[in-house]
Structure 1
């Protein structure tokens, strides 16, 4: 059975994702679609709107055949590490094709860009260092360095978020030396970070989340942008838990961590560097909310996303040592859900699998899954008090979703 892989967060699943899913299956002519999906915390350093289990159910309801989890050590990282983890997992589970959305929409342009940067590696890296020395953030420094090299028209625009991720997927495939064919489809109508609705049927996840938060969980503004199955899952979750998860829910816990820890302790946390430990402690003393805190901490050098990721690691107490220890190819695949076709595929794959498929935590004793467990425990703290225990137990008791075709 031929499998195409997609890398997703589904925060939440919307019509643009449905289009990507349909195109991935059609263009690749694959029998199976495998989604590797971020867990409780996401690449931009945010808690997911709702838990990984509900988002996996959204994916299966829309037609994904298998959903596996992208481990914390990859899911909460900058683009290159995020992409490396996702591509390596999809390779391990047998996906021979990777389909991603991009602003470019031309896969050959990604190959041209990869070769262009290889040919100009020293100049590129030197200009990144110079730009960062002038106070630029890393994304701005890399984008500026790239433009300074005067790329040709066949080179992708690496200032665009989906192009950046797509380039890193192609680079990861190349670096890993695996037999996987990347394909891309153009992202249209709604930009990745768009906060407003600009189309009748397609909207960014950012604008959908903003609507949910500003309307108190009402789906009235977003119904035309999400499938009915997503609407039902969002509605059920909000009725049960009385809120969606966001950073403000975790602010008391983050503030406690910042005011309780010493500067030395914080310096050991992953991504706390260059004196940031002093800045975040001072900001925590002054701030009344997470938004206030971020506004105080934010500088030209550090992007909002970079700082949110740092806060996520502080919240989960993830150190440099433990992150660097396991930030390699994952040694397990955590199964979140499957349908009939997915089960048939996995039954065949398991006969020659090189790493274990984890469907129950009790069946896997590897130390490298500890960050996922800790992230889920911390994530549960953001729920209303009466529902926290249920979310805590879900990590251990929730079996992978099984959906009949």
Structure 2
């Protein structure tokens, strides 16, 4: 059996994701599609709208065969570390191809850029550091470096292009026997906040519509599969809320206000004296967005600050980040009958242990951070619901469709 891998967040699963899934099957001819999906917190430093289990149900209902979890230590990271973690997990499951969405849509551009970058990496990194010292933000410094090395044909200011470049670079750098493919993003851009197409919308616009009121579900119905709508409705009826940064802000404020600067410096992402700006701003910030607005500068972008705040919320330290060099296990979240057949086919040849019961991971440092992230994610619920949600994190068996 041939497997194709996709790297997803499904926050939430929408019609654009369905198109990507169908095109992946069509272009790769794969017998099985495996999705590696971020867990409770996402790449840009945000809580997932609904739990990993709810998003797994969306994925399986849409036709994904296997869903595995990208651990926190790789999920809430800049593109390179995020990509390396996801690609190595798909490699461990013997995926023959990886298919990603991009604004560019031409895999040759990604391959050429990755090969050129790897040849000139040291010089590129040196130039970026010089540009940072002159006061440019990292995205600006990186863009300038790309122009200097003649790589500007691939626009890395576009978020899906940047991630796609990181996936291809990871495949080449690790010399993996994986064929990369890309599908051009259609109809909407990653950061679009409004609807401009009758059936395709960005996840950003869907979340913005739902923000503060799950009752707006009918407004996004044309842009999501029926199964996604059903899962979102069931989740809000069961748990009474969707997850967004503002509901976590009281917990973040408590963490920052009660921590000494020296404690904050131990947290991943806290660099260059940002702990002082956070301590100063938190005293007068009454919302999460107000805090970020007060701290944000050219050097400290919104996304970088969101990730740092997520690490503070979950107490993810630099030491833990440095220890997590590569995934150490494959956590299975869900599968179809076809997915089960594929796992039976490859189970003797997996490159990492396949885990369905997390009790086996109690001594794994990467999973220990996962437990902290789960506790932070459940913190917004009142008791006894909070305890129930945490029990689900540890006791839920892989979902089978």
- Fold-level match, TM-score > 0.5? yes
Match of 2:204 in 1: 206
CA–CA distance in structure 2, aligned partners of residues 210 and 383 of structure 1: 22
Measured after TM superposition, the shift of residue 352 of structure 1 is: 2.1
Measured after TM superposition, the shift of residue 354 of structure 1 is: 3.0
CA–CA distance in structure 1, aligned partners of residues 114 and 4 of structure 2: 22
Is the 8 Å Cα contact of residues 251 and 289 (structure 1) preserved in structure 2? yes
The 5 Å alignment of 1:49-128 reads 49-128=49-128
1:354 to 332, 351, 354: 351
Match of 2:372 in 1: 374
Match of 1:164 in 2: 162
Deviations 1:139-193 (A, max 9, x none): 22101221233447xx321111111100100000011111000001101111011
CA–CA distance in structure 1, aligned partners of residues 322 and 123 of structure 2: 28
After alignment, is 9-18 or 216-225 more displaced?
A: 216-225
Match of 2:178 in 1: 180
Other structure's SS at 1:49 match? coil
Is the 8 Å Cα contact of residues 378 and 390 (structure 2) preserved in structure 1? yes
Other structure's SS at 1:54 match? helix
1:225 to 223, 226, 240: 223
CA–CA distance in structure 2, aligned partners of residues 310 and 220 of structure 1: 34
Is the 8 Å Cα contact of residues 245 and 383 (structure 1) preserved in structure 2? no
CA–CA distance in structure 1, aligned partners of residues 5 and 238 of structure 2: 32
CA–CA distance in structure 2, aligned partners of residues 151 and 239 of structure 1: 49
Is the 8 Å Cα contact of residues 89 and 330 (structure 1) preserved in structure 2? yes
After alignment, is 344-353 or 61-70 more displaced?
A: 344-353
Match of 2:28 in 1: 28
Other structure's SS at 2:219 match? coil
1:343 partnered with 2:340 = yes
CA–CA distance in structure 2, aligned partners of residues 391 and 237 of structure 1: 12
Other structure's SS at 1:218 match? helix
Structure 1: any 5+ residue segments left out of the alignment?
none
Is the 8 Å Cα contact of residues 249 and 382 (structure 1) preserved in structure 2? yes
After alignment, is 123-132 or 240-249 more displaced?
A: 123-132
Is the 8 Å Cα contact of residues 242 and 384 (structure 1) preserved in structure 2? no
Is the 8 Å Cα contact of residues 50 and 243 (structure 2) preserved in structure 1? yes
Is the 8 Å Cα contact of residues 89 and 333 (structure 1) preserved in structure 2? yes
1:269 partnered with 2:297 = no
Deviations 1:36-74 (A, max 9, x none): 000000000000001111001100010000000001110
Measured after TM superposition, the shift of residue 130 of structure 1 is: 2.3
Match of 1:284 in 2: 282
TM-score (ref. length: structure 2): 0.97
Match of 1:333 in 2: 330
Aligned length: 400
CA–CA distance in structure 1, aligned partners of residues 149 and 317 of structure 2: 36
CA–CA distance in structure 1, aligned partners of residues 360 and 215 of structure 2: 37
Is the 8 Å Cα contact of residues 314 and 376 (structure 2) preserved in structure 1? yes
CA–CA distance in structure 2, aligned partners of residues 215 and 50 of structure 1: 14
Match of 2:312 in 1: 314
CA–CA distance in structure 2, aligned partners of residues 362 and 382 of structure 1: 25
RMSD: 1.4
CA–CA distance in structure 2, aligned partners of residues 384 and 300 of structure 1: 38
Other structure's SS at 1:350 match? helix
CA–CA distance in structure 2, aligned partners of residues 161 and 355 of structure 1: 30
Structure 2: any 5+ residue segments left out of the alignment?
none
After alignment, is 141-150 or 76-85 more displaced?
A: 141-150
